[in-house]
Structure 1
C-alpha cells in the first residue's frame, strides 16, 4: 500500500512539473549509454552491414494468392533451388491473402535467371494449389534502390541546413549545434539497431527515418524554448548557473515530453501489432518499426543528449565561466561558515565587545555654525557621580 502510494505521489510530481532530477549532473552516464549503443551499431555495420530489401539491391519477387499457404510451406517449396536466404512474408488477410517471396538472382546469367524464375513460380503454384499463371513475378533492378538512396541523402542534407538556419534565427547557433547533434545521435542509433537486429531496410524504412527526424527536433525545440525563457529569469540574477537553468527547464517539460511521446508511440504500436502481425501488411511493419525505434530514441535524445550538450557548450562561454566561479566561491564560503558556526558567532561577539569599549559614547551636537562632540550622558542629565565628587567623598 505504501509503495503504491509512493508511486502515485512520484507520478503526480512528474505531471505537476515538481521533479528535481539532476539530468545535467549525470550527463556522463547518458553519454556513456548512447556511446556504447552507437559503437555496437557501428561495429555491426562494419561486420554485418544492413539487410537491404529487394528495392535497394535488386532481385525477383513472387506473389502467390493463397489463404492456406504458410510461410514454412513456401520456404520448403523453394528450398531445392538454393534460395535459403530468400525473404518470405504474408501480405493482407482473408480472401486477399498472398505470400510474397523475394530473392536475389543478380549473380546468374540471363538464361539461368529466367529458368529459375519459372521453376520457382511452378513450385509455389503447386504448393498453393493454384495455377502458375496466378503467380505474379516482378523483376526489380538495383538502380531504383540507388535512386532512392541518393534522393534520401539529398533530402537529409537539405533538412539539416534548413533546421540549422531556423534554430539559429529562432534561438541561437549553439542551440542549433546541440539539436543537430541529437538528430545525428538518433540516426546512428536507429541504423545501429537495424544492423544488430537484421531488420530489412526498405523504402518505407527510409521514409520513416526522415519522418522521425522532425519529431525528434520538435521535442528538442520544446525543451530549448523553456531553456531560453528560464535563463533570462534565473541566470542573470547571478545565483544560478546555465546548467542549473537547463536542468530546471528539462524538469519542467518532462511531463509534456512523456505525454507527447506516449501519444505518438501508442498508434505506432497499434500499426505494428494490428497492421503488420495480424493483417500481415509488411509495408506497415517496415514503416511502423522504424517509427517506433525513432520516436523512442528521439524522446530520449531531447532530454538526455541535446540538453546536456547545450549546457556543456554554453558553460564554455566566458560570462558563464565567471558566473560559475562566483557561485562556487559563494557556496564554498557559506559551507565554511556552516562548519564552524560557534567560532563565527564568537568572533562576531568579540568584535562587538571591543567596539563598545573603544568607541566613546559621543554624538555630534550643533553649536552655531559648527558641530561638536559631547558625551551622550550629559545630554540626558546623567546622575552618575563624577570622579571629582568621588574623591571629595573619600576625603570626608
Structure 2
C-alpha cells in the first residue's frame, strides 16, 4: 500500500488525524481572504459577458486566415466603433466577437474583414444575437441558480438537518464567489458554457459535502449518549474518515478537466470547451476545499449554540479537568486534540501531536510490579 493509502487507512480508523474543526478559524480566515480577493477582482475588472448575454455579432473567418489576431481586432473595432475580441480556433480560423451590433452594423464589419482577407463577404460567417435574447439568457441563468440552491436547501434540511443545509449553502456560495473571481481575473468571456460549468460544479461540490455530512451524522448521531467526546471532536472524526476519499475523487476529476483546459483548448481552440473547462477546474478545487474546511466546521459552530450540546461539552471538559487532562498536558486529550481519539479505545492510550498537526496514538506502558525485583527471571519460585 502506498504511503498516502496508509495515511488514509489510519485516518479512517482514527489512529491518527488532523484537527480540522479545532483549527477552523484559520481556514475561515483563508476562505474569507480568497473571497475578498475574488470580489475585488470582480469589482475592478468585472466580467466580460459574451454576445449571448449582451447581444452582438460573431464572425468566423475561413480556415487558415492570412491575418493576425491583432489585425483582425483592429479592423473589427475600426468598422464597428466597439471593442472586439478575437480568438483562434483549432482549424486556424479566427472567431471575432463584437458586442452591441445589429444586423446592418454586423454586415459592415463582415465586409471590412472580408476586404482585409481578400475574400468574398459570403466566405466570412456572421451570426447576430439580439439584446433581448441575451436578457432572456441572463434571466434564465439566474433563475436556474436560485432554483438549484432552493432545492438543495430543502433536500439537505429533510435528509440531514437545517444546520447542515446552511453549512452547504455557505460552502456553495464560497465556491461560486471564487470561480467568478477567477473568471474576472483571467478575463474569459461568460457564455452559456460558463453557466453549464457553474451548475455542474455546484452539483459536484454538493456531492462531496453530502459524503462528509453523512459520516459526520453517523459520528454525532448519539453525541449526548456518550461521555467521552464533544460534538466538535466527533464531527472532526467524521471529516478525517472521509478526507482521503474526497481528495482522491477530486484528483481523479481534476485530471481530465485539466486536460481539457490546458491541452484541449490549445489543440482544438477555445470556444465553449474552454469556458466549461475553466469553470469546472476552479470549481472542483474550491468545492473540495469547502467540503472539508468550511461546510462541517460551519455546522459545528451552529450546533455549539444549542444549549443541550453546550451543556454536554461542558460536562466532558469538566471531567477531563478533574482527571488532570488539561490543555497543557502533552500526551492527554484536550478540547481540541481529543477529536482524534479512537472511539472505544482502551484507557491506557494517549495522544501525541506532531509538528504538522497530526495526532498519533501512543500506548502507555504499565508500571512494573515490585514483587519481581531482584529475581533473575522476575518469576515466582
Task: Give the TM-score, by structure 2 length.
Answer: 0.78
SS of corresponding position for 1:251: helix
1:251 corresponds in structure 2 to 240
1:103 corresponds in structure 2 to 98
1:345 corresponds in structure 2 to none
Per-residue Cα deviation, 1:179-222 (whole angstroms, up to 9, x for no partner): 11211111122122222332211111011111111111110000
2:163 to 161, 166, 174: 174
The structure having more radius of gyration, on CA atoms, is 1
**What is the CA distance between 1:98 and its match in structure 2?**
2.3
1:75 to 58, 73, 83: 73
Which aligned pairs between 1:132-147 and structure 2 lie closer than 5 A? 132-147=121-136
Per-residue Cα deviation, 1:30-79 (whole angstroms, up to 9, x for no partner): 11111122222223333432111111111122111122444234235446
Equivalents in 2 of 1:260, 1:248: separation in Å?
A: 19
- Pick closer, same or farther for the CA change 1:66–1:22 going to 2, 3 Å: same
Mean alpha-carbon deviation: is it higher for 266-275 or for 329-338?
Answer: 329-338
1:297 corresponds in structure 2 to 286
1:159 corresponds in structure 2 to 148
- Pick closer, same or farther for the CA change 1:187–1:245 going to 2, 3 Å: same
1:239 corresponds in structure 2 to 228
1:90 corresponds in structure 2 to 88
Per-residue Cα deviation, 1:145-168 (whole angstroms, up to 9, x for no partner): 211121122222221222222112
Per-residue Cα deviation, 1:337-392 (whole angstroms, up to 9, x for no partner): 9999xxxxxxxxxxxxxxxxxxxxxxxxxxxxxxxxxxxxxxxxxxxxxxxxxxxx
SS of corresponding position for 2:61: strand
Equivalents in 1 of 2:225, 2:168: separation in Å?
A: 24
Does residue 39 in structure 1 map to residue 56 in structure 2?
no
Task: Give the TM-score, by structure 1 length.
Answer: 0.75
Q: Which has the higher helix share?
A: 1
Q: Number of residue pairs matched? A: 325
Unpaired stretches in structure 1, ≥5 consecutive residues: 1-7, 341-396
Equivalents in 2 of 1:230, 1:260: separation in Å?
A: 22
1:324 corresponds in structure 2 to 313
SS of corresponding position for 2:324: helix
Q: Is the 8 A contact 1:66 1:128 kept in 2?
A: no
- Pick closer, same or farther for the CA change 1:336–1:241 going to 2, 3 Å: closer
Q: Is the 8 A contact 2:82 2:98 kept in 1?
A: no
Q: Is the 8 A contact 1:83 1:103 kept in 2?
A: no
CA RMSD, aligned part only?
2.7
Tell me which of the two structures has the higher relative contact order, counting C-alpha pairs closer than 8 angstroms and 6 or more residues apart. Answer: 2
Does residue 14 in structure 1 map to residue 8 in structure 2?
yes
Equivalents in 2 of 1:130, 1:219: separation in Å?
A: 53
Does residue 55 in structure 1 map to residue 52 in structure 2?
yes
**What is the CA distance between 1:246 and its match in structure 2?**
1.0
Equivalents in 2 of 1:66, 1:10: separation in Å?
A: 48
Unpaired stretches in structure 2, ≥5 consecutive residues: 330-381
SS of corresponding position for 1:61: strand
**What is the CA distance between 1:17 and its match in structure 2?**
2.8
Equivalents in 1 of 2:76, 2:328: separation in Å?
A: 81
Does residue 271 in structure 1 map to residue 271 in structure 2?
no
2:353 corresponds in structure 1 to none
Equivalents in 1 of 2:289, 2:44: separation in Å?
A: 27
